[in-house]
Amino acid sequence: MKPVLFTSSYLSQCYSENYAEAQQKFRQHTSELSGHSRYRELIYGETGPYGETLATAVSWQGDIDAPNVLVLQSGTHGVEGFAGSAIQLDIIQTLKEEALPAGVAVLYIHALNPHGFAWLRRVNEDGIDLNRNFIDFSQPLPGNPGYAELSDAILPSSLQDWNQATQVLSDYAEQHGQQALELALSGGQYQFADGLFYGGTRASQSRLNLEQIIADFSLQKRQRVAVIDVHTGLGPFSYGEIICDHPPASTGVRLAKQWYGDSVTEPALGSSTSVPKLGLIDYLWHQLLGENVCFVTLEFGTYSISEMFEVLRQDHFLHRNKLHPCTVDWSARETLQVKQAIRRIFYPGTADWQEMVLLRGRQCVQQALQGLSKP
């Protein structure tokens, strides 16, 4: 891909101020694709804070029968969709002018969790963290003793107890270690429906939609599929970490390192900023496509993990005991403060951060395309 000067004008073409703008830009740019292309929207029953329709948009670029496919996915964690959407728009614009490698197509999945994107939350309309929702719900739900022990401190009953509750979390980290705290908090839990990193008790609508997308485009029958799922919030500011949750020494890990190089990290081996987690979206792809898929998370760092946990606690406290997100007063001072904070922690929006995200995104996409084009 040829280099492009990331002017302020170009950055504004890629980045959006909200979900509705991102969706409109994605729709517009994909409509301009020439040659083989398909576009569809999967509509949700919920609406956004301004009454906007919520949908996951899907676009195919290239030969529909291509044996190899790059899947570029955004918005799994809702509010993290700003970066993923921008990368998708940048790649669409870049590939308008350049031919795809022979035998390779691109599938864009835009705003997999449109509710979280629109309402500035990591979770969906049911309070489910989509990236903890991919477990076998016919089996007993996994336990998380650490979260259960800390649940009252993670979300105290009142703001008056907030500082004391925060100290409980600090004491836990002091006694058991920071990694133990992160595992307890973010590893995934299925007991506290209003809590953080809640995986749900059934398959979410977004999960069902993704399963349908995989079937509709016959991805299980392709020779090779590379998935890049874009996230934000973990790691050094603006750095894009390639995280691979394939089992150690598996074909998926081998391909990831072959394509993306030595920067690939593995939570299972402790080399990643991410701890091992339950119910990741990765596992659906592993299950359905086996050794034909190489799934990686492209995680862009923002601010400290302690800040992130604090903001998430505030957001869940804000929405706690609400029967529906719309019962939150979107114009209230408290709401504006919390939403401004969560937006910043997952989308800093500074020009240098925006540029680094596009550069790294473009690099990883190019690496994936090159990998897919080789026998």
Condensed to tens digits (0 to 9), the pLDDT of residues 233-263 reads: 999 999 999 999 999 999 999 999 999 999 9
Q: What per-residue confidence (pLDDT) applies to 24?
A: 96
Cite the DSSP H helix spans in the chain.
Answer: 8-14, 19-31, 81-96, 114-119, 145-154, 162-176, 178-186, 205-216, 251-260, 282-289, 305-319, 333-346, 351-373
**pLDDT digits 0-9 by tens, 98-152:** 789 999 999 999 999 999 999 999 999 999 999 999 999 999 999 999 999 999 9
Q: How far apart are CA 63 and CA 67, in angstroms?
A: 9
Q: What per-residue confidence (pLDDT) applies to 375?
A: 77
Phi, psi of 323 (to 5 degrees): -70, -25
**pLDDT digits 0-9 by tens, 68-81:** 999 999 999 999 99
Tell me: pLDDT of 95 over 80.
yes
Strands 37-47 and 224-237: unpaired
> What contacts 289, CB < 8 A, 6 or more positions away?
214, 219, 220, 222, 225
Strand partners, 296: 228
Amino acid in the structure at residue 204: S
Q: What per-residue confidence (pLDDT) applies to 35?
A: 60
Q: What per-residue confidence (pLDDT) applies to 98?
A: 75
277 within 8 A of 188, measured Cβ to Cβ: yes
CA proximity to 347, closest of 238, 236, 202: 238
Would residue 299 be called left, alpha or beta, if left means φ above 0 and alpha means ψ between -120 and 50 degrees?
beta
The DSSP annotation for 197-260 comes to TB--SS--HHHHHHHHHHHHTTGGGSSEEEEEEEEEEEEEET-EEEE--SPTTSHHHHHHHHHH
Instruction: Burial-class residue 103 by CB neighbours within 10 Å (0-12, 13-18, 19+).
Output: middle
Give residue limits of the domains in the chain: 8-134+199-231+276-305+344-373
Strand partners, 47: 53
Return the residue matching tokens 């058991």. 176
Task: Kindly report the pTM of this predicted structure.
Answer: 0.96
Tell me: pLDDT of 97 over 90.
no
Return the residue matching tokens 């170009």. 10
Amino acid in the structure at residue 101: P
Tell me: pLDDT of 1 over 70.
no
Q: How far apart are CA 173 and CA 160, in angstroms?
A: 22
241 within 8 A of 310, measured Cβ to Cβ: no
> What contacts 238, CB < 8 A, 6 or more positions away?
300, 301, 348, 352, 353, 356, 357
Q: What per-residue confidence (pLDDT) applies to 36?
A: 59
CATH tag for 8-134+199-231+276-305+344-373 (out of 3.40.190.10, 3.40.630.10, 3.40.50.20, 3.30.360.10): 3.40.630.10
Return the residue matching tokens 């922690």. 345
The pair of structure tokens assigned to 340 is 């401004």
122 within 8 A of 129, measured Cβ to Cβ: yes
146 within 8 A of 191, measured Cβ to Cβ: no
Label residue 325 by pLDDT band (50, 70, 90): low
For residue 332, how many other CB atoms are within 10 A of its CB? 11
Instruction: Burial-class residue 229 by CB neighbours within 10 Å (0-12, 13-18, 19+).
Output: buried
- Length of the chain equals 375
In the chain, what's the furthest Cα-to-Cα distance?
62
> What contacts 26, CB < 8 A, 6 or more positions away?
57, 59, 85, 88, 89, 92, 108, 110, 111
Q: What percent of the chain has pLDDT over 70?
A: 95
